[in-house]
Amino acid sequence: MLDGDEARHLTRVLRAKVGDAVSIFDGGGRQWPARVASIGRDRVELDTGTPAIDPPPAGIPVTLAVALPKGDRQKWMVEKLTELGVTRLVPLETSRGVAEATASAQTRLERVVIEACKQCGRNRLLEVASGRPLDRLLADAAAGSRVLIAHPGGMPLDTAVARSAAAELIALVGPEGGFSAEELGVADRAGAIHVSLGPHILRVETAAIALAARLCVPAE
């Protein structure tokens, strides 16, 4: 049974009718073929078939820890990170940040993830974690994680990736004004590798997407 936003999207946006074939997924890698059985005001009943289970994603899990940009740039960034296959997004709380990682922001971004998954065919949701400061993020990192930090003057990203045999990759992107000296010190003490994303200064969302495109879609 679908209700609320999902029911309204199916009937009012996709204009599904009784008897139409659709596909549904649970966000954890399972997908079902289904057919619309009945349509109510805000509820849709579906008859489902045998589920198909996606294999675990290939490659190393990638976490993007990002000081969120303002406004619609957040939505655009999360949409693209979902499409590219990022495992987890952690909103960073930094001294120079311009957007608060509130509970309402987390809920809003989770909705963007669902919409992006439906658009691109991804059956495993990008996890949007609660906001946290850099020191807490790194203290909670799993053993065997490799941390990369986008910072001018760092080594080329491809060189860093070649050296990053790890259980998980955590890529850090600071706010528009950059990480503070104290935050850089925290990252350095945790063994973070400084990586360069080219000769130009990138916006937060551009840097995050550039990292995701390289870390989640390796060059053949």
pLDDT digits (tens, 9 = 90+) for 110-139: 999 999 999 998 999 999 999 999 999 999
Q: Which of 126, 133, 151 lies closest to 75, judged by CA?
A: 126
Average pLDDT over residues 198-204: 93
For the chain, the structural domain boundaries read 2-53, 62-216
C-alpha dist (Å) from residue 184 to 79, 143, 194: 28, 21, 10
Q: Are 67 and 204 in contact (CB under 8 A)?
A: yes
Residue ranges in the chain assigned as alpha helix (H):
4-8, 72-84, 103-120, 134-139, 157-162, 181-189, 204-216
How far is the C-alpha of 70 from the C-alpha of 88, rounded, in Å?
A: 20
CA dist 69 and 135 (Å) reads: 20
DSSP H or E run through 133: strand 132-133
> Class assignment of domain 2-53?
mainly beta
d(CA 204, CA 89): 13
Closest among 210, 137, 209 to 170, alpha carbons compared = 137
pLDDT at 167 over 70: yes
pLDDT(201) > 70: yes
In this prediction, residue 174 carries a pLDDT of 96
Radius of gyration of the chain (CA): 20
Q: What percent of the chain has pLDDT over 90?
A: 75
Reading the block at residue 148, the tokens are 């990369």
Q: For 62-216, which CATH class?
A: alpha beta
Provide the whole-model pTM: 0.88
- Name the residue with higher pLDDT: 163 or 57: 57
Distance CA 97, CA 93 (A): 7
- Which of 108, 97, 107 lies closest to 68, judged by CA? 97
User: Mean per-residue pLDDT for 35-60?
Assistant: 89
Task: Read off the pLDDT band of 219 (50, 70, 90).
Answer: low
Separation between Cα atoms, residue 204 and residue 40, nearest integer Å:
43
Token output for 158: 């491809």
